[in-house]
Structure 1
Amino acid sequence: MKKKLIALAVTGALMTPMLAQAAPTVYGKVHLSYGSVEEESGGVTTTDNWQLSSHASRVGVKGDRDLGNGLSAIYKFEWQVDYEQGGDAGFDRRNMYAGLKGSWGQVRFGRHDTPLKMAQGDFDQFGDTSADLKNAGDQDGDNRLDNVLAYLGKSGNIKYAIALIPGEGDGTTAGDGPADSISASIAYEDGPLYVALAQDSYDDTNGQAENSLTRLVGTYKMGNMQLGLLWQSGVEGATTAGEDEDWLGVSFKTKISAKNSFKAQYIMVEDNETTAREGTLMAVGIDHKFDKKTSGYLMYSNLEEELGNTTDVDNTFMGAGLVLKF
């Protein structure tokens, strides 16, 4: 009997680190808002009501496995969950990848945010709300793509990333090369300063000329305040050739007490379409931090687009939100 107990103890001791190493981390976020929504197009009110909405609520699993010699296997699978839709329609894919990690950086394969998207850093103070950066214009660069081969590296205060995305097409209606789209970024971060430059390049996948989008963004922290600036210009993809957009944005956040912060953001967008468009997206809000993983907010946002015709847009939101992480 003693021999059996000793054998079980030894086996348990050997298996414990293996089980701990293989155990994945389950995580998630619930983000809900309730407020007044008014939408107007061409002088006609299309929406005027109160809405309870989910904003990129998600659940995911991630982990890594030690392969020895400083090399690890990594994985992450994340789903967006929308409580307003039942069945399979309530789930949508977010980042889903596997890869390798070492002292030289990381290589990731799968569905992934582009380096240009990631380059925004902490600029966007209203992410996943009606005032999210991506809602300011058409060429937003906020892309999460399939078939991505990405490399992320770091040297001192400099971070860099590049993603190659094959079109996986027949060469006639879609690209057939090893990298029909390329996204790359380089960022410098030192204490309160963050500066990043990113570029997306899109190959001729629909019989149109190559297009590209360039982003320059920076944030600077001064005590309890943070100021952010963003500029970007270009065309996001081949299907929108000749529709360049120029963006200019500023964001601001400051603590007003131990648990409360005030924030504001303003983004201007101009394009050169046949009917030129000028748009602005502005927002102000107050955040309250209940604890490390729970926060609430009050906010107001307004999106205006002037096209010089009857399709002018004027959308507003005023309400409150709750964010819980686990």
Structure 2
Amino acid sequence: MSITLRGTLPLVFAAATFPGFAQAQAPQFYGALHVSIDQIDSDIDGNSSQLNTSSNASLLGVRSTHRIGDHLSLLWQVESTIDLVNAGSIDVDRDSFVGLTGDWGLFRVGQFDTPMKVLRNRIDLFGNQAGDARNIVGVDGLDRRFKNGIHYRTPVFYGVTANLHYSTNTGDNATQSSDTQALSSSLEYRNGNFWAALAYDDDSTNDFKSYRLAGLYNLGDFRITALYQETDKPGSAASADTTAYGIGLRYKLNDKVALKTQYYRYELDDTDDSNAELAAVGVDYQYAPALLFYANYAFLENDNTYRTAYNVARTASTTTNATIADGDEKPAALSVGAIYRF
């Protein structure tokens, strides 16, 4: 579904004329404008290196809450991806939902990140940048948004939160008999500077089951991150089960500058010579609370696989199987970018 701001904003402001709107929070507009200039080397031939511009998961959204009673509030959100460098359309394709919340937890219906994806979001030091961990851990259809999703999150109980997210149909519209359901769930634990979580996905559409364990620990100026996952594909003899894992380290030099690095590896189980390794290093400069500049270098080595270091959440990407032709290339990217959040 594609819309324009010209058609969207009047609908939002018109809602303010409805009775009872005075008890609702005024719609809040928010977003992230994220662009980068990248030197991308796909390692195909001598002419494979090229300068590119990229819009990296730039987004625009509107949201609000309406307190209905002492223990119940209604909340809604509509969020769109915007392409800042190719004049693309604005699609309602990100986290969009209507829900209820209170001291009993949170209930939502719509399209939004699965608990499995949220785990990776929390620990990825290069999210939406060259070097994004999804170039490794997302290759089995993980890190996604369920369409037709129903989600419940419990209140925090002794640092523990549980999430249950069910999709009645991972495709579009309604279904009566096709087997296209999916389930994603997680348990999270937080205690001071320590956070850890375990997620499980069961996908009928693609016939796989996945487990993911992630954690982070803040120790002074250091942040240490780690992730491990396994994917079981019992219904496809041609697709081997996979394992992926990685670690990351971020160090704050001062209030504005931080150094970061992470390493991730992807393996096809029971296959000795099919794996991929991703390494990334970078520096963040927090110029102002709303504005971040960064410079990254990401490198990936294929061994009979077809991955890149820069394909996820960015307009400057390549179709891996079409461009990483023989499975042994070493694609890389040098990226300088800016993220403005409002």
Q: Give TM-score scaled by structure 1 length.
A: 0.84
1:130 aligns to what? 130
Identity rate of aligned residues, in percent?
A: 26
After superposition, where does 1:133-172 map in structure 2 within 5 Å?
Answer: 133-137=133-137, 138-139=139-140, 141-154=142-155, 155-167=157-169, 168-171=174-177
1:200 aligns with: 201
Does 2:304 correspond to 1:303? no
In the TM superposition, 1:41-56 aligns within 5 A as: 41=44, 44=45, 47-56=48-57
| 2:79 alignment partner, SS class | strand
- Contact 1:235 1:241 survives alignment (8 Å): no
Distance 1:92 1:265, change over 3 A: farther
Whether the 8 Å CA contact 2:150–2:166 is kept in 1: the answer is yes
Instruction: Tell me, yes or no, if the aligned pair for 1:35 and 1:50 is still in contact at 8 Å.
Output: yes
Whole-Å separation in 2 of the counterparts to 1:46 and 1:151: 50
Residues 201-240 of structure 1: pairs in structure 2 closer than 5 A: 201-203=202-204, 205=205, 210-235=207-232
Quick one: which of 1, 22, 26 aligns to 1:19?
22
Alpha-carbon distance, 1:159 to partner: 1.2
Answer whether contact 1:39 1:45 (CA < 8 A) is retained: no
* Contact 1:166–1:175 (8 Å) recurs in 2: no
Cα separation, 2, equivalents of 1:273 and 1:110: 38
Pick from 167, 179, 192 the counterpart of residue 175 of structure 1.
179
| Partner of residue 340, structure 2 | 324
Aligned to 2:188: 187
| SS of aligned partner of 2:134 | helix
Contact 1:136–1:303 (8 Å) recurs in 2: no
1:287-325 Cα offsets, whole Å, 9 max, x none, are 001111111011100122110893323211113110101
Question: Offset at 1:131?
Answer: 1.1
Q: Counterpart of 1:249?
A: 246
| 2:140 partner SS | coil
Q: How far apart are 1:273 and its partner, in Å?
A: 8.2
Distance (whole Å) between structure 2 residues aligned to residue 297 and residue 123 of structure 1: 18
How far is 1:202 from its partner?
Answer: 1.5
CA contact (8 A) 1:235 1:242 kept: no
1:118 match: secondary structure: helix
What is the DSSP-based 3-state SS (H/G/I as helix, E as strand, rest coil) of the residue aligned with 2:48?
A: strand
**Which entry has the higher C-alpha Rg, 1 or 2?**
1
Structure 1 residue matching 2:98: 3-state secondary structure: strand
CA drift at 1:245: 1.2
Runs of 4+ aligned structure 1 residues displaced above 6 Å come to 236-241
Match of 1:281 among 267, 278, 293: 278
- How many residues align? The count is 300
Amino acid at match of 1:122: R
Q: Are positions 1:35 and 2:38 aligned together?
A: yes
> Structure 1 residue 120: deviation in Å?
2.8
Alignment RMSD? 2.6
Bigger share in strand: 1
Conserved 8 A contact 2:62-2:79: yes
Q: TM-score, normalised to structure 2's length?
A: 0.81
Asked if the contact 2:78–2:92 (Cα under 8 Å) also holds between the matched residues in 1, the reply is no
Return closer, same or farther for 1:238/1:290 CA change in 2, 3 Å cut-off: farther
- How far apart in 1 are the matches of 2:234 and 2:80? 25
CA change 1:157–1:45 in 2 (3 A) is farther
Instruction: Provide structure 1 residue ranges, at least 5 long, that are not aligned to the other structure.
Output: 1-14
Give the AA of the match of 2:227: L
- Tell me how far apart the structure 1 counterparts of residues 30 and 234 of structure 2 sit (CA, whole Å): 33
Which of 265, 269, 276 pairs up with 2:266?
A: 269
Q: Comparing 115-124 with 185-194, which one deviates more in the overlay?
A: 115-124
Post-superposition Cα deviations, 1:142-167, rounded to whole Å, max 9, x if no partner, equal 11121000011222311110101112
